[in-house]
Amino acid sequence: MMHCPCRGRLKLLLASLSFIILLTWLYLLAGNLENGRSLLLAPCLLESTEARFLEREVLASRVRQVEEENRQIRLQLSQSQGQTEGNYGNQQWVASADTGAEDVENTAEERANHSECVRSPTAEKCELIHVACVCAGHNASRDVVTLVKSILFHRRNPLHFHFITDTVANQILSTLFQSWMVPSVQVSFYDADELKPEVSWIPNKHYSGIYGLMKLTLTKALPSDLSKVIVLDTDITFATDIAELWAIFRKFTAKQVIGLVENQSDWYLGNLWKNHKPWPALGRGFNTGVILLYLERLRKLGWEQMWRLTAERELMSMLSTSLADQDIFNAIIKQNPVLVHQLPCFWNVQLSDHTRSEQCYTEVSDLKVIHWNSPKKLRVKNKHVEFFRNLYLTFLEYDGNLLRRELFGCPSQATSESTRLQKALEELDEDDQCYDFRRERIMVHRVHLYFLEYEYTSTEDDTDVTLVAQLSMDRLQMLEAICKHWEGPISLALYMSDAEAQQFLRYAQASEVLKNRKNVGYHIVYKEGQFYPVNMVRNVALRNAKTPYVFLTDIDFLPMYGLYDYLRKSIVQLDMANTKKALVVPAFETLRYRLSFPKSKAELLSMLDMGTLYTFRYHVWTKGHAPTNYAKWRTATTPYKVEWEADFEPYVVVRRDCPEYDQRFVGFGWNKVSHIMELDALEYDLMVLPNAFMIHMPHAPSFDISKFRSSPSYRFCLTTLKEEFHQDLSRKYGAAALKYLTAQRNI
Ligand SMILES: *[C@@H]1O[C@H](CO)[C@@H](O)[C@H](O)[C@H]1NC(C)=O
Ligand SMILES: *[C@@H]1O[C@H](CO)[C@@H](O)[C@H](O)[C@H]1NC(C)=O
Ligand SMILES: *[C@@H]1O[C@H](CO)[C@@H](O)[C@H](O)[C@H]1NC(C)=O
């Protein structure tokens, strides 16, 4: 009995959507029972109960909304009756929590009339599929991730992605894929800047700019032994296994070299408006959002010369391209119709105004690839737009970690990184009481650098300093305030799930303050595991600071106004470039939600006297900042040196080449202490700045530190890790580091 997998796959998507919702409800429920659950989270994860309640309300209403949308989709789907359960192979892992659809086995005849069930040829088992994508800038780098997720979700073959990138996209995507470590996925990068001269002579009015045109150069840009490739725009979502598309290469006749879907808009008919004169095209023309390129044959045909000549000739009358590469592809095809293999339209369902996309498929379950034609995205008219939107949002928010699964039955080409990780995991002793801690330390979290647009121009005097901090979702509200207090560059690492990262994106795009700041680098570290890997997250922020100096702070502090300028002056004054110093910014705290922020040291001191402000952790953990010597600071007018003491954890400004945070410390406890200790071991001078201060803003003291301290296994492991850290320090820095052990014992 033949199976019809496609519809099953759509169902699967829906099923997993419902599953996610179920999980969210469970999460909400669990949230209400809050106790001890967040024991191991960093203190900054916790929020006042009212705020949390509010957040939960918002989330709950969002869930209800998504549920309603899903009900609609199910309705649509049930109209296209006759659901067949797909044979899912390696995708069984998604729990099927869907209740709406019946699993009726279909008769072969019934199936025969649905396009997707006309048994489409698929690729050979384990055949490597090549995909190319031109991707430039921050926005496209985000879009391409959603495309990749949709491909990975359905795929059963090994994949090789070829990315033509500018430097921005290269940095983002290479870090992302290295940290994602998806088995059986290879990634190659090609420098778009090198390709620019090939196409920069073509005047072009399309929003994709010069990058769109680079699709013309792929025969040259990609390796010369690569024979076939699927070329995709970044604004595309797959609703099926890409192997089905790949298999269409086999249907090409001997002369065919390019597979394309007809343009579903009326553009090339030239009747959109009076005097509308599009480039020449065959009929409606073809859309180049999805292309099957038979590279080997194209090279033999002299493609290079062919497209150049065509472009030159047409440009004499057209002056510029309106739709970038698409105009040129179409002009070539108009001249040589035999070159094109027309793909069924469901391989590129084009969403935009004036389209015939609805005529393209009879049932929503038939479609295979959606093309959003950004920048219009999500706001188009189509009777199934809700369904499309949900499909898109599903992948947008889909947990990318779930896509790391192995392909069954295909030899895996392990990368050196994944082999190293595998070995490290095997070396761990599973009976070790602190196994979970040790595992966390070697876990590789997915990282998406520069999630939002970022521009930084370095100052000329080499004194620039970046504010470095990490946060999770519940501290977003601090961002605007910090931006108002600090005008210099900021490097932030955000520990989030895929769905939270999207919420953050919407938040940032709606905030005037954040939108207007381009010198803030936002780096997403995707959540995984049971701990909050605070030091690993901090290191991501630290590593991606671009200035010679960094101010290492925490997200719930507001720096005094003018701290940025003051620090840069102090950096010069104290000759930071040639000496090993850590400048201490004294930390204070307020318990008031509405604080009129002190404008000067004098004002701060009087607030301190009135009890509006305290020195940081005055009530709970004086040791952390006592060595700052607040008494001396009151009257100090010049920087003064202080000595390291056990448990000192000041906020400091250091050269960017300082050691990283020790990643074995996760969650609460010892995460900054260990860093300051290492600075001291390296003989950094701790210099307190007389005219600098920062204030910790309150978040209700819901976090019960004593509870954490009394969790016996956590205490035990923290002690064990501390001891190991000390041993490592002595190994690295010799006898000098012994004092830390003694200091420790004296506590
Ligand atoms: C498929 O549809 C055609 C007309 O659209 C019809 O004549 C034919 O009987 C159908 N085949 C099956 C197997 O249902
Ligand atoms: C990226 O997206 C933002 C928000 O949607 C937009 O304002 C900005 O112009 C885009 N940048 C580029 C280079 O397209
Ligand atoms: C076809 O022409 C339209 C013009 O309306 C253009 O915007 C689009 O990029 C082309 N392709 C699609 C997907 O409609």
Q: Which two tokens stand for residue 199?
A: 């196409």
pLDDT score of 394: 87
Mean pLDDT lowest among 42-46, 77-81, 418-422, 469-473: 42-46
Whether residue 37 is predicted with pLDDT greater than 70 in this model: the reply is no
- With bands split at pLDDT 50, 70 and 90, how would you rate the model's confidence at 228? very high
- With bands split at pLDDT 50, 70 and 90, how would you rate the model's confidence at 111? very low
Tell me the residue type at 646.
A
> DSSP character for 725?
H
Higher pLDDT, 465 or 371: 465
Q: Assess contact for 501 and 476: CB atoms under 8 A.
A: no
pLDDT score of 139: 95
Percent of the chain, pLDDT > 70?
A: 76
Mean pLDDT lowest among 2-16, 260-274, 294-308, 450-464: 2-16
- With bands split at pLDDT 50, 70 and 90, how would you rate the model's confidence at 651? very high
Residue 350: strand, helix, or coil: strand
Higher pLDDT, 422 or 527: 527
Tell me the residue type at 310.
T
Whether residue 177 is predicted with pLDDT greater than 80 in this model: the reply is yes
Tell me the pLDDT tens digit for each residue of 112-163. 444 444 445 578 888 999 999 999 999 999 999 999 999 999 999 999 999 9
Q: Using alpha carbons only, give the angle 120, 126, 132 rounded to the nearest 5 degrees.
A: 80
> In whole angstroms, what is the distance from residue 688 CA to residue 584 CA?
4
Across residues 463-487, what is the average pLDDT? 95
Of the candidates 17, 15, 19, 22, which has an alpha carbon nearest to the alpha carbon of residue 103? 15
SS (H, E, C) 641-701: EECCCCCCCCEEEEECCCCCCCCCCCCCCCCCHHHHHHHHHCCCEEEECCCCCEEECCCCC
Q: Assess contact for 279 and 331: CB atoms under 8 A.
A: yes
Whether residue 735 is predicted with pLDDT greater than 60 in this model: the reply is yes
> In whole angstroms, what is the distance from residue 89 CA to residue 91 CA?
6
User: How many angstroms separate the Cα of 313 from the Cα of each of 285, 309, 332?
Assistant: 18, 6, 11
User: Which protein residue has the closest C-alpha to ligand 1 atom 10?
Assistant: 113
Across residues 617-646, what is the average pLDDT? 91
Q: Please give the torsion angle defined by the CA atoms of residues 391, 395, 396 and 400, in that order, rounded to the nearest 10 degrees.
A: 170
Handedness of CA 342, 345, 347, 349 (dihedral sign): positive
> In whole angstroms, what is the distance from residue 8 CA to residue 27 CA?
28
> How close are the terminal C-alpha atoms of the chain, in Å?
73
pLDDT score of 34: 36
For residue 164, list its beta bridge partners: 134, 190
Q: Does domain 447-745 have CATH number 3.30.70.20?
A: no
Of the candidates 195, 161, 190, which has an alpha carbon nearest to the alpha carbon of residue 176? 161
Ligand nearest the Cα of residue 352 is 3
Whether residue 90 is predicted with pLDDT greater than 50 in this model: the reply is no
Helix axes 5-32, 49-79, angle to 10 degrees: 160
50-59, 381-390, 662-671, range with greatest mean pLDDT: 662-671
Whether residue 88 is predicted with pLDDT greater than 50 in this model: the reply is no
Mean pLDDT lowest among 234-248, 257-271, 434-448: 257-271
Mean pLDDT lowest among 74-83, 173-182, 222-231, 698-707: 74-83
- Determine the residue of 135, 172, 453, 502 to mutate for testing ligand 2's pocket, defined as the one with the most ligand atoms within 8 A of the Cβ atom: 453
Ligand nearest the Cα of residue 106 is 1
- With bands split at pLDDT 50, 70 and 90, how would you rate the model's confidence at 737? confident
Residues 6+ apart with CB under 8 A from 192: 134, 136, 164, 165, 166, 211, 214
pLDDT score of 35: 36
Q: Please check whether the two domains, 129-403 and 447-745, share a CATH topology.
A: yes
Tell me the pLDDT tens digit for each residue of 2-27. 444 444 555 555 555 555 555 545 44
> In whole angstroms, what is the distance from residue 285 CA to residue 264 CA?
8
- Answer whether the bond into residue 375 is a cis peptide, omega within 30°: yes
> In whole angstroms, what is the distance from residue 17 CA to residue 390 CA?
9
Atom of ligand 1 nearest to the CA of 110: 14
- Determine the residue of 373, 374, 376, 381 to mutate for testing ligand 3's pocket, defined as the one with the most ligand atoms within 8 A of the Cβ atom: 373
Higher pLDDT, 742 or 674: 674
Sequence spans of domains, the chain: 129-403, 447-745
Whether residue 351 is predicted with pLDDT greater than 80 in this model: the reply is no
Q: Assess contact for 47 and 474: CB atoms under 8 A.
A: yes
Higher pLDDT, 711 or 609: 609
> In whole angstroms, what is the distance from residue 668 CA to residue 531 CA?
9
Mean pLDDT lowest among 203-207, 509-513, 695-699: 203-207
For residue 199, the CA-to-ligand 2 centroid distance in Å is: 23
From the number of C-beta atoms within 10 Å of its C-beta (0-12, 13-18, 19+), residue 58 rates as: exposed
Q: Does domain 129-403 have CATH number 3.40.630.30?
A: no
Q: Assess contact for 7 and 116: CB atoms under 8 A.
A: yes
pTM, two decimal places? 0.81
Across residues 555-573, what is the average pLDDT? 97
Whether residue 275 is predicted with pLDDT greater than 80 in this model: the reply is no
Q: Assess contact for 603 and 709: CB atoms under 8 A.
A: no
pLDDT score of 409: 79
User: Which protein residue has the closest C-alpha to ligand 2 atom 6?
Assistant: 139
- Determine the residue of 4, 109, 113 to mutate for testing ligand 1's pocket, defined as the one with the most ligand atoms within 8 A of the Cβ atom: 113
Higher pLDDT, 117 or 215: 215
Atom of ligand 1 nearest to the CA of 109: 13
Q: Assess contact for 253 and 295: CB atoms under 8 A.
A: no
Q: Assess contact for 697 and 595: CB atoms under 8 A.
A: yes
For residue 453, the CA-to-ligand 2 centroid distance in Å is: 8
pLDDT score of 120: 54
Higher pLDDT, 14 or 401: 401
Residue 409: strand, helix, or coil: coil
Residue 574: strand, helix, or coil: coil
Beta strand 685-688 with 651-655 is unpaired
Whether residue 365 is predicted with pLDDT greater than 90 in this model: the reply is no
Tell me the pLDDT tens digit for each residue of 540-551. 999 999 999 999
